Amino acid sequence: MFPGIDGFHWTVAHILFLSLFFAVALTIAATVISAAWRTARDFRTHRATELCWNSDFADLPQSDRRCRHELAGRVISRTCDNAFDCRHCNQYSQFAVLPARAMMHDLGLHYPQDRLYHRGHTWVHAEEDGTVTIGLDELAHHLIGNPDSVNLPEPGSEIELNQTAWRMTKNGNHIQVRAPLEGTVVAIGGPKDGWYLKLRPRLDPETPRPCVTFFVVRKFTAGCPANSSACSYNSGRSMPRPAWPMEEPFSLT
Amino acid sequence: MSARYGMVIDLDRCTGCGSCMIACAADNNVPVLPKATARTGLTPLLVRKVSNALEGTARREAFIPIMCMHCEHETPCVTVCPQQAVEVDKATGIVMQMPQRCLGCRYCMTACPYHARYFNWWDPAWPAGMEKSLNPGVAVRMRGVVEKCNMCHARLHSAQEKAAALGKREIDPADYVPACVEACPTAAIRFGNLADKNDPVSQEAHSPNAFRFLARLGTEPKLYYKSSEAWVRALAESASGPVPENKSSEKKLAEVQHG
Amino acid sequence: MASTALTGSSLTDGNLSDKNLPDKKWIPRDANRTSLPRFLLWLAPWAALLALGIYAAGLCLYYGLNQTNMDNRFAFGLWIFLDLGVIALGAGAFFTGFLVYILKRAELRPILNTAVVVGFICYSGAVGILGIDVGQPLRFWFTFWHPNTHSMLTEVTFCISCYLVVLCLEYIPILLRNRQLRKLPSFLVFEHQLHKLVPVLAGVGTLLSFFHQGSLGGLYGVLRGRPFAFRQGIFIWPSTFFLFILSAIATGPSFLMLVTAAVERVTNKQLVPRDLFRRLGFISGVLLGVYVAAKSIDTLIWLNITSPSAGFAAWQYYIYKPFGTPILFVEIVLFGLLPAFLLTYHRTAAHRGWLLSAAALACCGVLLNRFVLTVQTLALPTLAFDEFLHYTPSWQEVASFGGVLAWGVIVYSLSYRYLPMFAPLKGEDTHVSGD
């Protein structure tokens, strides 16, 4: 196979045959290495998240692949030129200012209109003194009920957008609630108070920003719609809508 | 000058005693295989019994020792072995099999028209005590490899060592005699150098009653057979050979015998 | 939605509660799959067969090849016949890839995943069987180390090893499209990048397949010592080299058609556009027609020129029951010309029943062809005083191959359940079940 092997007699036929073989083997190896190298490059240049997003979105059922403004009731229907990637949309602000006709009562849950909602199933209510109150929305409350224990951050500590704001346990399951905003914790509450945190936000809650967020629930019971394919949040990836607080219902179809 | 070792086997003299088979097995450390059948046994030299397919007083029988024919031209087993475990030795014309390199794919066995190649279906084993009678000059083959007659190459090796010890370049022909040749009581198997015109075997190979099996395949075997009986010579080629089961082929045989 | 037809005997139930689908998160989104207990019930007999096959193979590896019924006259037996057959049937993998990626026939895309998985199954099974068929499996690398370029088997070894690697590489993107696996960003991005390079792999696969399908034919065509198999040819390649390639690419699409039809029957869903079978059938039929023509010419040359010049008259081959001249007729006409006609004639090609029957005939034809060359060659006498031989495989041989079949069914079942093997059908592609 290689020159220099003891007792092997090289002929023209061997050279031809083995050259062809090595060429083919090199082509195959080059293909794999090239794919791996390009993958590494994608991660370095941060194209990876975009690829992940694109492929996840393409995975959604046809009915879910709709413009978020359509879902919010701002427009009756529209076709998106941007492949539903709001991050790169230059028309976004035009639609955002239109009034939303929300579908508030999906699943018979109540979503008061005076609050902003985050995909982490928290609500944000802006107070007059510039702070915001953060609590769990009706769906989360419906799923979790009364938590067995709540582990809130100390007042004065900082929480970051979409990082863990506070932790709870229920029936041995650990729940991490994502922060809908970044800021400094001013006061802490609890399930009995109807709110969990008061926060002094760093930015105006309504400032749009692209980000990734997900509601991580480990070993949740099988009955949770969050675990079914019906829940479009289940994959845990960045979804078509940028996740800043919006007065918008959750599409649970 | 390189040799071309071959044989002439006189079928008029072969009695079918089988001494050649036993000598071959003993000299080449062929294992004792209690579970072997006629088709799975290991017989680098096999004496076949043939007849002219007639009955009664017209019946004739003969014995044909079959072993590797050491084909010279486009040797079927050499061209097909995937890892070059077989080659035609340029110095002697012997088709050499390397059991250590053999993968056991048995492609060479498929290729050989003479069915002269045998596979080690079992691990080699001998009855207790018999291993003391093994020939130390011949390596024992492992299970899963192909083997065949190699013209008792170990004996050639001994002859070469002897010649080298005496300071000669060429071996003494009397020193290199394969086991079957030595054992045959009627000297039916004769061994010699076909490339040497003066060798009596070489001359006998060109006698009118000499033939080779399946010569029309074009493999140029170096084993010649000799018979004064026409029906035996007719067995050389398949197309003219008898096929006992089928009546139409018996008609063909009759044509050959009387035509 | 495409999956509308549900009958009582179906293995799929549309609206199961998640209690019966504990592996739901592994199943592609929106896919209807049967309950896990039922799926395991389906797998159970195949797993048992696989276990039996592994046991039989283990016996052969441990005790030696005396466990088989092969002998010095039948050095190649059931395993080699089935290896050649399975590789011929798996040719659909490379040929479909060639048609889709190189010739840009996008209408065959729906069957591409099945082709890759079937190819992977066939080649991995063949390589597995070859591993136990040789007397010294651990010496497999000798062929690479000391290649003999005159030997067709060297060529086969090199090509099949490379091609199995190519098939694995083509299977990996399909695997990585599993719902849970793609959650790992590195897997998802790697799949994306590898998928972009699949045309290169398809090209390499076509080249390799061309050579090894041909060389498998060449294995027998070069046997000077077996005039039944020996053929003249072009340069170093006997005519069987080209005939094997032709028969393989002719029956590959047919086999894919049969596999897909079987999957559709078991899952009781329509999985591919309705006209895909017709297209596959047409490709298969045309190539089969070319093959039959080439084979007929080759057979005539062989019977009248090649074989007699080696001293073997044609009549000698066909005087043994049951291997008489009807075998020639069956192979070329019944399993060759007839399916070629049925697959291309527009009236029969329009009906699924005719298509599938013709595809089955074509596959039988390629299997018969391989059988004739592997088994009949060795059964026939060469020396004038040889007899016609019989051979029956031992249970270990049959069980080993049963294990390969079980391996195939298990791999395909798992692939079907957990991977997006078939793209969702658009409305106009569907048909009423039972058509």
Please check the confidence at residue C423 and state whether its pLDDT lies above 50: yes
Distances A7 to A4, A10, B84, C145 between C-alpha atoms, Å: 9, 10, 11, 11
User: What percent of chain B has pLDDT above 70?
Assistant: 92
Within 8 A of C157 by CB-CB distance, chain A residues are none
B235 vs C66, C145, C384: nearest CB = C384
| Residue with the larger pLDDT of the pair A104 and A15 | A15
Full-model pTM: 0.79
The rounded distance, in Å, linking the Cα atoms of C250 and B166 is 68
**pLDDT reported for residue A193:** 87
- Give the residue from A107, C385, C306 showing the smallest Cα distance to B249: C385
Using a CB–CB cutoff of 8 Å, tell me whether A13 touches chain C: yes
Give the model's pLDDT for residue A214. Answer: 29
- Of C394, C399, C395, residue with least CA distance to C52: C399
Q: How confident is the model at residue B146 (pLDDT cuts 50, 70, 90)?
A: very high
Of the two residues A73 and C278, the one the predictor is more confident about is: C278
C145 contacts A1? CB cut-off 8 A: yes
Residue-range domain boundaries for chain C: 46-418
**A 155-174 residues with CB below 8 A of C?**
none
* pLDDT of B162 strictly over 90: yes
Chain C nearest C-alpha distance from B93 (Å): 19
The mean of the pLDDT values for chain A is: 73
Yes or no, beta carbons of B238 and C74 under 8 Å apart: no
Q: Of B158-167, C288-297, C303-312, give the lowest mean pLDDT range.
A: C303-312
pLDDT digits (tens, 9 = 90+) for B108-132: 999 999 999 999 999 999 999 998 9
pLDDT at B200: 95
Nearest to B76 among C65, C223, C308 (CB): C223
Average pLDDT (A202-223) is: 43
* Closest residue to C223, CB basis, from B40, B111, B245: B111
**Shortest CA distance from A12: residue in chain C:** C149
Residues B216, C310: C-beta atoms closer than 8 Å? yes
User: Which homologous superfamily is C46-418 in?
Assistant: Formate dehydrogenase/DMSO reductase domain (1.20.1630.10)
- Do B50 and B239 contact (CB within 8 A), yes or no? no
Residue C198 has pLDDT above 80, yes or no: yes
Structure token digits, residue A10: 């090289």
CB atoms C224 and B218 under 8 Å: yes
Share of chain C above pLDDT 90, in %: 76
Residues in chain B closer than 8 A to C67 (CB atoms) = none
Q: What is the pLDDT of residues C164-174, one digit of tens each?
A: 999 999 999 99
Cis peptide before C322 (omega within 30 of 0): yes
Q: What is the pLDDT of residues A132-185, one digit of tens each?
A: 899 888 788 878 888 889 999 999 999 988 888 889 888 888 888 888 888 999
CB-based contact B106 C377, cutoff 8 Å: no
Where do the H-state alpha helices sit in chain A?
Answer: 12-44, 47-59, 68-71, 92-96, 138-144
A11 touches chain C (CB under 8 A): yes
ipTM > 0.85? Answer: yes
Q: What share of chain C is helix, strand, coil (3-state, %, to 5)?
A: 70, 0, 30
**Which chain C residues in 293-312 lie under 8 Å from chain B, judged by CB atoms?**
308-312
A77 touches chain C (CB under 8 A): no
Residue C105: both structure tokens together: 């026939």
**CA angle B239-B245-B250, nearest 5°?**
50
Q: For residue A208, what pLDDT is reported? A: 52
Interchain CB distance below 8 Å, A48 and C185: yes
Helix (H) or strand (E) holding A183, with range, is: strand A183-190
B44 touching C (Cβ < 8 Å): no
**Helix C185-196 / helix C198-221 crossing angle, nearest 10 deg:** 60
Measure CA B232 to chain center.
18
Give the model's confidence band at A119: pLDDT under 50 very low, under 70 low, under 90 confident, else very high: confident
pLDDT confidence bin for A108, thresholds 50/70/90: low
Burial label, A169 (beta-carbon count in 10 A; 0-12, 13-18, 19+): middle
C73 vs B contacts (CB less than 8 Å):
39, 115
**Angstrom distance (rounded) from CA C421 to CA C169:** 16
Mean pLDDT (chain C, rounded)? 90
Which residues of chain C make contact with A236, given a CB cutoff of 8 A?
183
**Quick one: pLDDT at residue A234?**
36
- Give the mean model confidence (pLDDT) for residues C359-371: 96
Interface chains of chain A (3 or more CB pairs under 8 Å): C
Where do the domains of chain A lie?
1-45, 47-232
- Winning range, highest mean pLDDT, from A112-126, B67-81, B245-259: B67-81
CATH code, domain with B243: 3.30.70.20
Please count the other Cβ atoms lying within 10 Å of the Cβ belonging to residue A145: 11
**Do residues C88 and C81 touch, judged by C-beta distance below 8 A?**
no
Task: Give the mean pLDDT of C215-223.
Answer: 95
pLDDT reading at C111 higher than 50: yes
- Interchain proximity C320–B245, CB inside 8 Å: yes
* Interatomic CA distance for residues B147 and B30, integer angstroms: 10
Say yes or no for a CB contact (<8 Å) between B74 and C224: yes
Residues in chain A with CB shorter than 8 Å from the CB of C183 are 235-237
Residue C112 has pLDDT above 80, yes or no: yes
| Residue B249 predicted with pLDDT over 90 | no
| Distance set, CA C347 to CA B209, C104, C355 (Å) | 66, 27, 10
C176 inside 8 A of chain A by CB: no
- Highest average pLDDT, of A123-127, B189-193, C230-234, comes from B189-193
Q: Are B194 and B202 in contact (CB under 8 A)?
A: yes
Q: Is the pLDDT of residue B259 over 50?
A: no
Kindly tell me if the per-residue pLDDT of C58 is higher than 70: yes
Q: Does B100 touch chain C (CB under 8 A)?
A: no
* Domain containing residue B158: 5-257
Return the pLDDT at A100. Answer: 66
Any chains having at least 3 CB pairs less than 8 A from chain B are C
Q: What is the DSSP letter of A87?
A: G
pLDDT above 60 for C157: yes
Q: Distance (Å) from the C-alpha of residue A161 to the closest C-alpha of chain C?
A: 22
Residues of C in contact with B11 (CB under 8 A): none
Token couple for B237: 């080629």
Fold adopted by A47-232 = OB fold (Dihydrolipoamide Acetyltransferase, E2P) (2.40.50)
Report whether pLDDT(C343) > 60. yes
Taking the CA atoms of residue B88, residue B91, residue B97 and residue B101 in that order, the dihedral angle to the nearest 10 degrees is: -100
Q: Which two tokens stand for residue B60?
A: 């004739």
- For residue B106, the chain C residue with the least C-alpha distance is C75
Determine the average pLDDT of the residues in A67-77.
74
- From the list A48, A49, A228, the residue facing C18 with the nearest CB is A228
Most C CBs within 10 A among B37, B217, B248, B251, hence the mutation to make, goes to B217
What is the distance in angstroms between the CA of the first residue and the CA of the last residue of chain B? 44
Average confidence (pLDDT) over C399-423: 95
Distance in Å, alpha carbon of A121 to nearest chain C alpha carbon = 22
Q: Does B34 touch chain C (CB under 8 A)?
A: no
* Cα gap A237→C271, rounded to integer Å: 29
CB of B121 within 8 Å of a chain C CB? The answer is yes
Q: In the 8-state DSSP scheme, what is residue B35?
A: T
Backbone angles phi, psi at C292, to 5 degrees: -60, -40
Q: Is A228 near chain C, with CB under 8 Å?
A: yes
Nearest-angstrom CA–CA distance, C191 and C172? 8
Single-letter residue type at B204:
E
C201 inside 8 A of chain A by CB:
yes
